[in-house]
Structure formats: C-alpha cells, structure tokens
Amino acid sequence: MIAVRRFIEKEKPPKIVTVGDQVSKDLSENRIAPDVLIVDNKIMRQQIPPIPVSADKNVRVKNPAGTITDEAWSAIERAVADSRRTKVVVDGEEDLLALVAIIVAPENCVVLYGQPTSGIVLVKTTEETKRRIWKIVRAMECNASDSD
C-alpha cells in the first residue's frame, strides 16, 4: 500500500479504477479513494458480504466467469467517463474486466487489481499498455469464435 500511495501521490492520475473486492477494500481502508470500483462480492471465488465502500452511483451488470459481456464493457466505459464515484457490482466474475478498464480509461489513469497470493498489480494506462491489452482481447475474441 505504501508503494501504491507513493505512486498515486507522485503521478496524480486523473482516475483510479480498482478491479476486485480485496484491492478495492484495501485502498479504501488506506484512504485512497478509487473513482471506479469493480467488484463481484467474492474473494478468491468465495462469497463475501459487500465491501463497505460507498459510491455516488451503483451499477449492476452480468458477466459470467471467463467472459467480457457487452453489458459489462458498456457499464465500465460509462463509469470511467462519469465524474461521480461509481461502484460496478458484477453478477458473475470481474477478473477479466481489468482488461476493459485499461482499454477504456483515459491515458495516465491507474487501474489496480489483485493478483491472488502475490499482491496488487498497478497498471498506468498509456498508449502502449492499451495496445498490448487490445491484442489480448482480440486473441480472446478469436478463440471464442473458434469454439463456436
């Protein structure tokens, strides 16, 4: 958390997006206020009570495990563009939605997500990171259509 706080204080990102209940909770408990929180009320796939983090706007979306639905993509895009603090609550799984957050967030924003048993991953949104993430998403689309 110390390294995350230092990075945020130094870089002053226009938006902070968290993906995952534990990282969202950890940041909030350390008085780092994410602009967008994407949660599924689970930690390590185990159901938990909703994290006690308030938001100006709450949105619910469906996103089954291993997918990125159009509904989830659109909700994250709108949440990132909104000036209000938004909590996106996912019915399903939010893991892959970090990819969406990186793509749709403006440059120089910060997207944080949990890496189970390792800690927090912090991604600064740049043209290069967006390009790399788009390649991953396109590869997923190709694999999905191959299995149809």
Residue spans per domain, the chain? 2-146
pTM: 0.93
pLDDT mean for each 10 residues of the chain (148 residues): 95 97 94 96 90 94 95 98 97 96 98 91 97 93 59
pLDDT at 141: 77
What span, in angstroms and rounded, lies between the C-alpha atoms of 92 and 40? Answer: 7
- Neighbour tally for 58: CB within 10 Å: 12
What does the angle CA 93 – CA 63 – CA 92 come to, to the nearest 5 degrees?
A: 40
What span, in angstroms and rounded, lies between the C-alpha atoms of 66 and 146? Answer: 15
Q: Burial-class residue 91 by CB neighbours within 10 Å (0-12, 13-18, 19+).
A: middle
pLDDT at 109: 98
